[in-house]
Amino acid sequence: MQEQRQEFFPRQVVEPALNRWDWALLPLVLAGFSLLALAATQMARPFHVGEVLPISLDPLALPYYLLRTTLRMFLALAASVLFACVFAALAAKVRAAEKLLVPLLDILQSIPILGFLSITVTGFIALFPGSLLGVECAAIFAIFTSQAWNMAFSLYQSLRTVPAELQEAASIFRLSAWQRFWRLELPFAMPGLLWNMMMSMSGGWFFVVASEAISVANQDIKLPGVGSYIAMAIAAKDLHAIGYAILGMLIGILLYDQLFFRPLLAWADKFRFEESGSENAPTSWLLTWLRRTALLQRLGDWPGRWLTSSFAPMRLRFDGTSIRARPKPANPLWARVWDAVLAALVMFALWRLVSFIHGEVGWGEVGHVFKLGFYTLARVLVLIAVASLIWVPIGVWIGLNPRIAGRVQALAQFLAAFPSNLVFPVAVILILRWQLNPDIWLSPLIILGTQWYLLFNVVAGASTIPSELRYAAHNLGLKGWLMWRRYLLPAIFPSFVTGAITASGGSWNASIVAEYVSWGDTTLQAQGLGSYIQQMTAAGDFPRIALGIGVMCVFVMALNHWVWRRLYRLAEQRMHF
């Protein structure tokens, strides 16, 4: 009988609290915490305005600078993810909020990083008097403004295009709004969101010089970091230091690609919307290592269980097929009241704008700035078209080949992160040597802040195409333009529109540094809105800074409303799975 009891009730094997994989991972974890502690303590050291922070061009200082810059960028990335989740959930689910939030995001992404710095630096310094933390927060916020907008647009687009059958399944399973977001909507959006997180990190590198080497209203503050190192190397015309900075950036990108993004992409492959498993799924040595640990396996399921169970009102969930579960129609009276409030706010803003123009800058200056805006608009449209012709086919090819994507992922991040400031010496030398027109030949520098948004979003869209759809296209023999028109372009269209919107904002921001370039004592400038804002920022002329930023907002919002927003509606109604 004892033997039978042992047969029917076998002993449970108690796994050890830690296995050899946990012990092998322990040094890496301790090293990471030690480096974070070192950087965090230096971020809160005493500091007073006017104090000069020493920046050395010694290459041995670059690892420390790389640590400080990377920590700022990851803090900004965490804030950007939180912002994107809140914005996308409100804008995609609440019609009244969408009317306010989407135009507001258009305005925010059109404000250049120098505009945010000129407004926020003084406030952050006053918030933390006598501490470097205030300047650090200003730099982190500036990096945040170069990361958050494309992530918010990507998640918003994904939430608006969740397949209807998955929405019906969530209703049948009686998921609350909280559970629906964490179990359906966010997992569905995860592949595109991760590629946009990579693009955001690269966007932070693109503006790292402006965020760490702060120069506003005759205040010159250089925080220890790769951006300040690059700014000093450019001012000193030290090509060797620039080469060391490029090498340091490449090493940093390779490290966080292997330790952060590659494991996340391999993990997110399980959220692909298809019936069969994907072929050639992305892999990560670190993710495999983590899955073999004992402690992390026990801890890994807790956050997911807490997110999907906490704050879930069980008593308010009904059968998805019942009348009580159907959403109640919105009261049209409240919608009209909200529209009236928004109209009143717009009228008040217009009145304040007219008063500001009449009292501070004059209407002649407004006409001049609008003319400069049309110059920059022409550059933006031409370069977006050129970038689309180049990178859409390449992005589709990369996205449809996971092995190729794994090989070029770090390279694409490095190229996207490459600060345009490092190209300025070549551009200035060539333009001066061949007596070229700066209005034309400085324009290609804008594409450095444009093309990567398109590439990363197209790769994300192509990588989520279900295998069944690929097989169907292959069996039908689709080739050439017919394949692009009937299969590939509709499949990637929502992601392409997201990339185009963020590319447009990126181009306007890139015009700040591309239309006004310096190499040592030599400065070249092209006629445009970006050059105007750069000059006014250096002079500390806040009324004209506000005028330039306001005109840029008008151009970006008009372009988004008349072009990209209509393409968005087309993507939501027809061109998605």
CA–CA distance, 160 with 568 (Å, rounded to integer): 10
Q: Which domains does the chain have, with CATH numbers?
A: 34-273+282-309+359-573 (1.10.3720.10)
Instruction: Name the residue among 333, 110, 109, 119 with its Cα closest to residue 216.
Output: 119
| CA 105 to chain CA centroid, nearest Å | 13
How is 360-409 classified by DSSP, letter by letter? II-HHHHHHHHHHHHHHHHHHHHHHHHHHHHHHHHHHHHHT-HHHHHHHH
Structure tokens at 70: 């990377």
Let me know if 303 is exposed, middle or buried by CB neighbors in 10 A (0-12, 13-18, 19+).
Answer: exposed
| CA 178 to chain CA centroid, nearest Å | 24
Tens of pLDDT, residue by residue, the chain (577 residues):
444 444 444 444 445 567 777 787 788 888 888 888 888 888 888 887 777 788 888 999 999 999 999 999 999 999 999 999 999 999 888 888 888 888 888 778 777 666 676 677 778 888 888 888 888 888 898 889 888 888 998 899 888 888 878 888 888 888 888 888 888 888 888 888 888 898 888 878 867 777 887 765 566 778 899 988 988 887 787 888 888 988 888 898 888 888 898 888 888 877 766 554 555 667 788 888 888 887 766 665 555 555 445 444 444 444 444 444 445 555 667 767 776 777 787 787 777 777 777 677 788 888 999 999 999 999 999 989 998 999 999 999 988 887 787 777 777 777 777 766 667 667 778 888 888 888 888 888 887 767 888 888 898 888 888 877 888 888 888 888 888 888 888 888 888 988 888 888 778 877 877 888 776 677 788 889 888 888 887 777 778 887 888 888 888 888 887 887 788 777 767 665 5
CA–CA distance, 57 with 233 (Å, rounded to integer): 7
> Residues 384, 385, 391, 396: is their CA dihedral positive or negative?
positive
Instruction: Name the residue among 267, 292, 302 with its Cα closest to residue 281.
Output: 267
Instruction: Name the residue among 109, 80, 116, 147 with its Cα closest to residue 504.
Output: 109
Instruction: Specify the pTM.
Output: 0.77
Burial code (b: 16+ CB inside 10 Å, e: under 16) for 531-540 equals bbbbbbbeee
Residues contacting residue 230 through CB under 8 Å, at least 6 positions apart: 208, 209, 242, 245, 419, 421, 422
Instruction: Name the residue among 48, 194, 59, 45 with its Cα closest to residue 129.
Output: 48
How is 91-154 classified by DSSP, letter by letter? HHH-HHHHHHHHHHHHHHHHS-HHHHHHHHHHHHHHHSTTBTHHHHHHHHHHHHHTTHHHHHHH
